[in-house]
Structure 1
Amino acid sequence: MPNLRTMMIKKDRLYQYHTKQRWKATLFLFAALIAGASLFYTNYLVKSLSKSERTKAEVWAMSTRSILTMPDVDDQFISFVYAVRDSLSIPAIITNEKGSIIFWRDLDSTKTNIKEQADSVGDTLQYDPLYFEKQLATMKRNHRPIALYLDTGEIWSVYYRDSDALRQLRIFPYLQLSLIAIFLIIAYTVFNSIKKTEQNLVWVGMAKEAAHQLGTPISSLMGWLELVRTKFDAENDSILNEMERDVKRLEIVADRFSKIGSIPALTSQAVYPVVQEFIQYFRVRTSEKISFELTGDRTVEAKLNVQLFDWIIENLLKNAVNAIDSEGKITVNISDNIAKEEIFIDISDTGKGIPKSNFDTIFQPGFTTRKRGWGLGLSLTKRMVDYHQGQIFVKESELGTGTTFRIILKSNLRYEPTQV
């Protein structure tokens, strides 16, 4: 039951993929919940402290009014009022009905007055009006004033601002969450890098082993083909010629796998002939009900590794064939964006289409919508396009109508290849 086993493995991979996505979403929601709870509790503390400071400001205003309106009470009571007022440390300014500043407290002593050199009298202290104007404007924005009703009928206004501790408390949760976010991003990047390195090592090992295992049977097949040609005098037999092409294709596949983990050379190639040659090979191995069309600029060049680039085109064409139920058309168009020195390769099919929600996820390892398949084709394709320092994405797709993949390659530029 190999088909049943393959389907079970595929379902298991899909389950693992969706489980991974759910875990990511759960962790994100948990992190958002922690952040929200932290901000909510800090906001509660800020409001409580803000009410407390408002009460302090009101008590300070009342004690100031008592000092100004009760000059005949005994010294002990006055001393008590002074002690109460001085114990309430809060930046505040009192203005009269005209808006002129007549008293302040707990402001920056280095800015509430400045030294000014007099000609003959010596140093005198003068107020810094600009500093007071800024402080008063800030206090007016932050809190509504407290009214002081004097016995003379005047109404003074007391303005105050938050203490330094309260202002720092307002900022603290955002600073804390920012530092935690930075730490998590760095940790995620490091662990993700380690994970990718381990995956790459496994991938490289498996690929090279596959190439090694393919080498012996491919050599044997070539020998058997030569033996058949000689024995039956069939040097130009068309069937044997096609079999030879397939065996040579297997050699190319083995060579591709042997290059995984290395840095194959990129050479300047005309893109159109490379694509055309593979389509000619691929067309005769596909249903006659599926037609192929190659259009576009025949002269554009890019730096390619032909064997790996063939692999890219092969995966995309196979994907297009699988998307077409019975009869359809596959179009490959090559164009040149001269302004940006880019080459566009658009591969379109008249298949079943891709939902927009899957435009990005289809390039992730293990993601597939087919009954048979491992979900590695497009992931590998993207890896090889990245090797060519290009881009691949779903340009457009409509369910029931078809899909267009776009590859973007740089033209006439020097490349710095990395490992495949």
Structure 2
Amino acid sequence: MKKKFSTKIFSFRNRVVIIILGFIIGTSSLLFTNNMARQLREKEQNEVKLWSFAMSKMGEMGPENQVLRQIINANTNIPFVITTGTLDVVTSHLIPERILTNPALLRQKCVEMAAINQYWEIKTWSNDTYYLFYGESNLLRTLVYFPYIQLAIICIFAMFGYITFRSSKQDEQNRVWIGLAKETAHQLGTPTSSLFGWIEYLRTQPIDQTAVEEMNKDVVRLTKVVDRFSKIGSTTSLSEGVINEIVGGSVLYFRTRVPRNVTINYNGLAMAQLKALVNEALFEWVIENLLKNALDALSGVGSIDVKLSSDNDWIYIDVKDTGKGMPKSNFKRIFEPGFTTKTRGWGLGLSLSKRIIEGYHNGRIFVLNSEIDQGTTIRIMLKKLYS
């Protein structure tokens, strides 16, 4: 026990350490890249400042000044536009022509660039004033957005890793449950066969045969349970079945085995036949699960109404009890493996029922309605079959 506990703690600590390291690495990368972007932005601003100074001195010192010419020609990657006070374009670089020729777009572009970087005034030797608006280089924009792209990629890989890990764990758990189910079926096979032998013996004895017949029904039911367990994990074959009769068989079986103060009502045997493609053994299992859950909810007193209905496409089986009900927050949770409100049980009945109905029969099962202290109605939907 100590070994298992320490293993769990170690595993939990490993996960915490990995999460913390991932957070530190991601945060460090973001801070480092943002710092580089800040330094590059300051460098570009200084370059533009120097460039604007060179432009202002060009007329005074002449275009043949090699130092000024070298400074001016050095700017090849920063988009800019120089305008007059009335937004007449003097010169530009890396600004699309459609913007330069459209006054409204040019004004909008200048406002956008001014929001990124403070514009510069350029005063020439002849006292003319021009305005320099400039943006960010492609390198700077890439550097600004790169850590967010990197973070998104890390999150995507983490999500896929989590999904893969979860799928592998679920596959492993499924194999364990399938193996457990088949082994259970195998172990129950021998005593079940032996019970049939004992029943045949009791039929030859001078005892009440009514009790023997009831025992025989229970053993037949046990045989069906064994058959269901043996089918878990195997290819499930569907065949045409009369839903009225399948549901009715389960209802009649339970009627003789419920407490005296519990009644089970069923309308299916008095209506026209409703047919669907089902695996009878597994579908009976679902109906029994719903009836057992309804009985547990009643706590020995109340009623269960099993109602069949249909429309042009679907058959509806509603199992309604007058039990304790449940909050709306549990409508979906009750179908999750391991979820239960009972003091006994593993919380697998409704999870298996959902898998059988939706995975094997392409139907639906859900809580139709439930109110605290008023009861619960669970609905099964099966595709209607016309013969």
Q: Please say if residues 215 and 254 of structure 1, whose CA atoms lie closer than 8 Å, have aligned partners that are also in contact.
A: yes
- Contact in 2 for aligned 1:218/1:250 (Cα 8 Å): yes
| Unaligned stretches of 5+ residues in structure 2 | none
Aligned counterpart for 2:98 among listed residues 120, 130, 136 = 130
- Is the CA contact 1:330–1:350 (under 8 Å) kept in the aligned structure 2? yes
Q: Tell me the alpha carbon deviations over residues 88-135 of structure 1, each in whole angstroms, 9 at most, x when there is no partner.
A: 442211122332221123x28xxx7xxxxxxxxxxxxxxxx3264589
Q: Which letter does structure 2 place at the counterpart of 1:408?
A: M
Measure, in 1, the Cα distance between the counterparts of 2:16 and 2:330.
Answer: 17
Distance 1:62 1:333 in 2: 89
C-alpha displacement of 1:223: 1.6
Distance 1:26 1:314 in 2: 47
- Residue in structure 2 matching 1:102, options 78, 84, 90: 90
Deviation of residue 331 (structure 1)?
2.5
- Specify the alignment match of 1:90 in structure 2: 78
Take 2:210 and 2:192, find their aligned partners in 1: how far apart are those partners?
Answer: 20
Q: Which amino acid aligns with 1:103?
A: T
Q: In 2, distance between residues paired with 1:238 and 1:28?
A: 66
User: Match for 2:146 among 169, 172, 189?
Assistant: 172
CA 1:351–1:164: 2 relative to 1, 3 Å: same
Number of residue pairs aligned between Structure 1 and Structure 2: 368
- Residue-by-residue CA offset, 1:13-35 (whole Å, 9 max, x unaligned): xxx9xxx99x9999999978976
Distance 1:42 1:72, change over 3 A: closer
* Change beyond 3 A, Cα 1:312–1:82: same
Q: Determine which structure has greater relative contact order: mean sequence separation of CA pairs < 8 Å that are 6+ residues apart, divided by chain length.
A: 1
Conserved 8 A contact 1:138-1:161: no
CA–CA separation in structure 1 for the residues paired with 2:70 and 2:169: 65
Q: Which amino acid aligns with 1:380?
A: L
The runs of 5 or more residues in structure 1 that have no matched partner are 1-11, 113-128, 414-420
Match of 1:156 in 2: 130
Which residue of the other structure, out of 41, 44, 58, is the alignment partner of 1:67?
A: 58
Structure 1 residue 279 displacement after superposition: 1.0
**2:365 corresponds to 1:392:** yes
The TM-score with structure 1 as length reference comes to 0.74
Q: Which residue is 1:282 aligned to?
A: 254
1:287-366 matches, within 5 Å, as 287-295=259-267, 298-338=272-312, 341-366=313-338
Counterpart in 2 of 1:232? 206
Closer, same or farther: CA 138–168 of 1 in aligned 2, 3 Å: farther
Query: 1:143 corresponds to which residue?
Result: 114
**Contact preservation (8 Å) 1:97, 1:154:** no
Secondary structure of 2:318's aligned partner: strand
Distance 1:53 1:353, change over 3 A: farther
Could you tell me which amino acid in structure 1 is paired with residue 114 of structure 2? H
